[in-house]
Amino acid sequence: MALLSFLFQSKPKTATAAKERLQIIIARERNGRTGPDFLPALHKELIEVISKYTKVNADDIKISLDRQGNLEVLDVNVVLPDA
Amino acid sequence: MARIIVVTSGKGGVGKTTSSASFSTGLAMRGHKTVVIDFDVGLRNLDLIMGCERRVVYDLINVINKEASLNQALIKDKHCDNLFILPASQTRDKDALSEDGVEAVLADLIAMGFEFIICDSPAGIEHGALMALTFADEALIVTNPEVSSVRDSDRILGIIQAKSRRAQSGGEPVKEHLLITRYSPKRVENGEMLSYTDVQEILRIPLMGIIPESEQVLHASNQGNPAIHFKGTDVAEAYEDVVARFLGEQRPLRFTDYEKPGLLKRLFGAK
């Protein structure tokens, strides 16, 4: 039985994986291209302002712009250190 | 009206120069006065693919720097009377390729009555590639059915849409055409390779042609004759189809279906 399934197993269709991966990465890169270019500057200034008042790591501030239908959602996520 | 066409891809080694050589040859064989320009300063190879490497005296940068006239630098193709090659410089720094200089050379070529000006872009997205696409009216995006090539093609499309003269001046956008090269219907059939519909679905630009993977391409470059000259081969016919479609003819897609070899073929191992 094991021999049979070895003989007749279908080869993995890697092209499907390639297509899915490409669709995701290209959609993301296109968004970055068409989106506003103030994000990096905003990110930098936010880090400066927040670190003036609290001690945060630059890596703990995440900022992203997502599209939901007609809305653009600016998502700023700050992880404050334990007091 | 002259048309300036950039042949570009982002990624290297996908067949830009091979395609530039066959595409420009095909246009010339149909009677159109055509020039093909190598923009790969420092790594020129179009001359080798066209088989005119020993006749290069002056190059694009010499013309830009006014050290030679266009007539001195243009090399007449060995097969086609109305095809000319403008080689890239092998020694100069690529920053010598100034935007004003390129614009002036293109204007002179148009004034000389060239109908088609093919700009063979270097790989990458650096200065040389930008100069090749800046003045384009149309773009032939050469893509292999493979993840890195498809991603880089999308990147270069973004650059064309942002940095070309047409985009900057807010005029009619650069007309984009997809050219899929090194296509293997057998591997697509087996689910090992992206199909042309997959690639087209991802890049979302009109398909101009499919060039099958073929041993003939290496034979052609070995001899310095563009692949389109090898009459009767799949590659030559595929490039002829591309040229015909570019000139407005309707041609069905070929070399996209895999035919399983028959029993005899399998037994006697046809190539």
Show the domain range for A73. Answer: 18-80
Counted across chains A and B, CB pairs separated by less than 8 A come out at: 44
Going across the sheet that includes B75-76, the strands are B75-76, B83-86, B34-38, B116-120, B3-8, B138-143, B175-183, B207-212
CATH class label, B3-268 = alpha beta
Average pLDDT for chain B: 94
How confident is the model over B170-182, as pLDDT tens digits? 889 999 999 999 9
Angle between helices B147-163 and B196-203 (to 10 degrees): 30
The residue type at B243: V
Structure tokens that stand for B242 in this block:
């591309």
How confident is the model over A30-62, as pLDDT tens digits? 877 766 667 778 888 888 888 888 888 777 888
Residue A5 lies in a domain: no
Query: Backbone phi, then psi, for B264, in 5-degree steps?
Result: -60, -45
What pLDDT is attached to residue A77?
Answer: 85
Q: Is B154 in Cβ contact with A29 (below 8 Å)? A: yes
> Which residues of chain B make contact with A12, given a CB cutoff of 8 A?
191
Reported as a pLDDT band with limits 50, 70 and 90, residue B110 is very high
Residue A11 lies in a domain: no
What pLDDT is attached to residue B116?
Answer: 98
Interface test with B, best of A19, A21, A29 (most B CBs within 10 A): A19
Structure tokens that stand for B190 in this block:
């087996």
Residue A38 lies in a domain: yes
pTM: 0.83
| B254-261: long-range pairs with CB below 8 Å, 24+ | B254/B210, B255/B183, B255/B185, B255/B210, B255/B211, B255/B212, B256/B183, B256/B185, B256/B196, B256/B210, B257/B185, B258/B185, B258/B186, B258/B188, B258/B189
- Contact call for residues B214 and B235 (beta carbons, < 8 A): yes
The response to whether B13 counts as a known ligand-binding position is yes
The tally of domains found in chain A comes to 1
Q: Is A16 in Cβ contact with B192 (below 8 Å)? A: no
Q: Is A18 in Cβ contact with B146 (below 8 Å)? A: yes
DSSP bridge partners of B209? B179
Residue A8 has pLDDT above 70, yes or no: no
What pLDDT is attached to residue B270?
Answer: 55
| Length reported for chain A | 83
The response to whether B197 counts as a known ligand-binding position is no
Q: What is the ipTM, given to two decimal places?
A: 0.85
CATH of the domain at A26: 3.30.1070.10
The response to whether B51 counts as a known ligand-binding position is no
Residue A8 lies in a domain: no
- What is the rounded distance in angstroms from the CA atom of residue B19 to the CA atom of residue B236? 11
- What is the rounded distance in angstroms from the CA atom of residue B128 to the CA atom of residue B119? 11
How confident is the model over B203-233, as pLDDT tens digits? 999 999 999 999 999 999 999 999 999 999 9
Residue B124 has pLDDT above 90, yes or no: yes
Q: Where are the domains of chain B?
A: 3-268
How confident is the model over B68-99, as pLDDT tens digits? 999 999 999 999 999 999 999 987 776 789 99
